[in-house]
Amino acid sequence: MRGFKITRSMVGKILFSFVILICAVVFLDKGLAFSSNVYKKTFLSRRHAGKTEGDECKFIFIGDSWVEGAEAPFGKGFPEQFVEKLKDKSPSVNYSYIKACWAASNSSQAVLQLVDALINGDFEWAFILTGANNGWNVEEIDKVDKLAYELYEWPSLHNETSVNFLTKIGLPRLGRLVSLYMYSIDIRQGKNISYEYPWHIITEIYNELGVKDVSMDQVREILVKNPQKAKDYNQFFRVIKLTFGNNYDATEEFLQSNNLWKPELIMNFEKECRADELKKLSWVLAERDLRFIAKLCDENNIKVVFLTYPSPWPSFDLINNIIRKVAIEENIALVDQDRMFKKQLKLASDWEYFFNRHHPSEKGYTLMANNLNLLFKDE
């Protein structure tokens, strides 16, 4: 049997193919950057959502329970009401939206929701309301910290020493696409994010009892007697966890005492991280995550709008000021719901607009939708 022999001709063809491959990759990377800039100079120069007949306009709303519409009747959060108002005003335009949110999520989890949406969805506008839970929820901070370093070499909490290979060799756009895609696969496999919390079940119980000040003990008692109110055990577990302020240990102890602990039925659940060193950085990380969101949206030709939290409580002032600061410095459109509410209501503590003195009521979400709609009025 004759041995395999490498000829000069074969070496030449291999080298030629390699050069062609390198040129193609560089051309693709630069082409992606060029097309992005052209798109920004044309489509993104439009300052509002003026649409003509037959057009489509797709929104994504990213955030926590305030985006989910916690404690309002199901489907009566501000995203739903906002889109309905646009449809009434322009029935010929095909408005559509998705909500990437769950109660108690932090700003790093909002980043991951955006990453997943960028890879798996198509939308023109992103509305962001996040950060209020950063003071206690530190889940996914490490993953987003690593991703921010891989994409942009931002300072890392963990002294990272390497970046995405494609970025390192001068192909940043391809490097970012690869990193985003890999994180999206990770998310789809359930490693990074939770499912949204079903606040509407608690709201329905409030409505059934007919009183505003319902204790969480009462809610749990009703749920234990009527588990069918939840569509499955996973949802049942999350509602119970909400009644304990998202305290995992208390939830587990309660369910075990009632012979209802079935961890094998809990989907995509990771125990909350309670690292004190991360909690101390929570507001710094909120600012980083908001800048991260702004940069990702800009690179992907998404028009982004930040919102503040409307609340009579001073505890929201810190995150609202961070949101305002990033919006100004990153030149992001801002709908300052907090200041608008305080001007629009006779009293900052007008409880008619807030349910149980925390989340907005249905009436409060309607006011949020009206305020957001001002951004889209015809010029």
Read off the amino acid at residue 359. H
The structure tokens listed for 183 are 């994180």
Contacts for 177 with CB less than 8 Å, ≥ 6 apart: 32
Residue 371 pLDDT class (50, 70, 90 cuts): very high
CA distance 282 to 140: 12
Classify residue 35 by its DSSP letter: H
Question: For residues 197 and 268, is the Cβ–Cβ distance under 8 A?
Answer: no
Residue with token string 């006779």: 346
Inter-helix orientation angle 107-120/172-188, to 10°: 100
pLDDT at position 188 is: 45
- Please indicate whether residue 15 or residue 297 has the higher confidence score (pLDDT): 297
- Please indicate whether residue 165 or residue 235 has the higher confidence score (pLDDT): 235
Could you write out the DSSP letters of every residue in 98-124?
A: EEEE-TT--HHHHHHHHHHHHHH---S
pLDDT at position 310 is: 93
Could you write out the DSSP letters of every residue in 117-153?
A: HHHH---SEEEEE--TTTTT--TTHHHHHHHHHHHH-
- Please indicate whether residue 61 or residue 316 has the higher confidence score (pLDDT): 61
CA distance 231 to 203: 15
Residue 366 pLDDT class (50, 70, 90 cuts): very high
Residue 37 pLDDT class (50, 70, 90 cuts): very low
Average pLDDT score, the chain: 77
pLDDT in tens, 64-95: 989 999 878 888 999 999 999 999 988 889 99
Question: For residues 309 and 337, is the Cβ–Cβ distance under 8 A?
Answer: yes
Residue 190 pLDDT class (50, 70, 90 cuts): very low
User: Which of 122-136, 241-255, 329-343 has maximum average pLDDT?
Assistant: 329-343
In this structure, of 22-26, 116-120, 363-367, the range with the lowest mean pLDDT score is 22-26
- Please indicate whether residue 33 or residue 284 has the higher confidence score (pLDDT): 284
Per DSSP, helices labelled H in the chain are 8-42, 65-68, 78-89, 107-120, 141-152, 165-168, 172-188, 199-209, 216-225, 233-243, 248-257, 276-280, 282-299, 317-329, 337-344, 362-373
For Cα atoms 218, 221, 222, give the angle at the middle one, nearest 5 degrees: 90
pLDDT at position 67 is: 94
pLDDT at position 97 is: 93
pLDDT for 265 beyond 90 = no
Question: For residues 82 and 372, is the Cβ–Cβ distance under 8 A?
Answer: yes
Inter-helix orientation angle 216-225/233-243, to 10°: 160
Classify residue 97 by its DSSP letter: E
Contacts for 80 with CB less than 8 Å, ≥ 6 apart: 69
Residue 116 pLDDT class (50, 70, 90 cuts): confident
- Beta-bridge partners for 355: 359
In this structure, of 14-28, 122-136, 142-156, 300-314, the range with the lowest mean pLDDT score is 14-28
Question: Looking at the chain, how many residues does it have?
Answer: 379
The CATH number of domain 59-194+274-376, selected from 3.20.20.70, 3.10.20.30, 3.40.50.1110, 3.30.70.270: 3.40.50.1110
In this structure, of 63-72, 73-82, 148-157, 244-253, the range with the lowest mean pLDDT score is 148-157
- Please indicate whether residue 71 or residue 342 has the higher confidence score (pLDDT): 342
pLDDT in tens, 268-321: 544 443 444 555 677 888 999 999 999 999 988 999 999 999 987 777 899 999
Residue 46 φ then ψ, to 5°: -75, 130
CA distance 37 to 4: 50
CA distance 239 to 220: 9
- Taking the alpha carbons of 80, 81, 87, 93 in that order, is the dihedral positive or negative? negative
pLDDT for 196 beyond 80 = no
Domains of the chain by residue range: 8-45, 59-194+274-376, 199-265
Closest CA to 245 of 312, 179, 195, 197: 197
- Taking the alpha carbons of 136, 125, 365, 218 in that order, is the dihedral positive or negative? negative
The share of the chain scoring above pLDDT 70, in percent, equals 66
Question: For residues 49 and 125, is the Cβ–Cβ distance under 8 A?
Answer: yes
The share of the chain scoring above pLDDT 90, in percent, equals 29
pLDDT at position 3 is: 59
pLDDT at position 193 is: 41
CA distance 366 to 76: 8
Classify residue 327 by its DSSP letter: H
